[in-house]
Structure 1
Amino acid sequence: MKTYQNEYVQVQVDCSVHLLQQRWTGIPDSENFRDASLAILALAKRHQVMRWEIDIQQLRLFNPMDLHWFIEHWLPQSNSGLLQKAKIAIILKDTNQFSKLGTDMLIRASMAVNPNLSCRYFLAGEDSDDWLRSSFK
């Protein structure tokens, strides 16, 4: 079931395991990136998400101004109302993917705000799904 979609992202939530899945494509413009990010945050809070899968295999890159906005505005909002312990799986097309640079910056900033996060990169969705659905350690 798709719970949110625009031309750059599809988002699904599996409430039974508190899993939110995002699949990004193309080069999101600022309005769509920010609207989607805020919608994703609202879904995560509403469903007490503990597991995030962010698929950026088809994402070409993030706008640096949007990355700055994410760190300065989205992260502080996420810190209140989200569970402190969470797993984040990021699915890449390959390890040299250019969009990984922006994702690395977001993950480092997220972990600075919440050091209880666990994050891993994957090249296959099945591997990320296994890791996300495993118990927290």
Structure 2
Amino acid sequence: MRAIQALFCIFSLLFSVIGYSADNKLTLVIAGMTSQQVVSIMGEPSDSATIENATLLLYTKRPTMLKMQNTIQHFIFLDNKLVEYGEKHIEPTHSAYNLISATEQLQLWLAEQGKDLNPSAAAHDLTTNKK
């Protein structure tokens, strides 16, 4: 009986490690990549926006039975070079975060960086990048 329990524990651990590494593509991404390289690793984004020389790709993973949180992954490019990326886990009750478009989030990021924003470029992107 102990041998069966030990085998079960070993297989459970093995499958959880394999499942984590297969699901966590973010570990393959490095700063300096182009947006095309990131898309080839991560797949098509849930939302995206471009303002002048800045681009934001957003990936959203919805809650599952095993993981009861939204996972939001963001990738920010300047001159088509990845300069910032990360992941947030958000409780489903905070789904208002998902309502903020990629364009609005990119505008906020640019404002935080102190970069001047051309309002006409932002207005153009608001009308052309909606999905």
Hey, which of these two has a bigger chunk of helix by percent? 2
TM interval, shorter chain, is: under 0.3
Alignment TM-score, normalising by the size of structure 2: 0.27
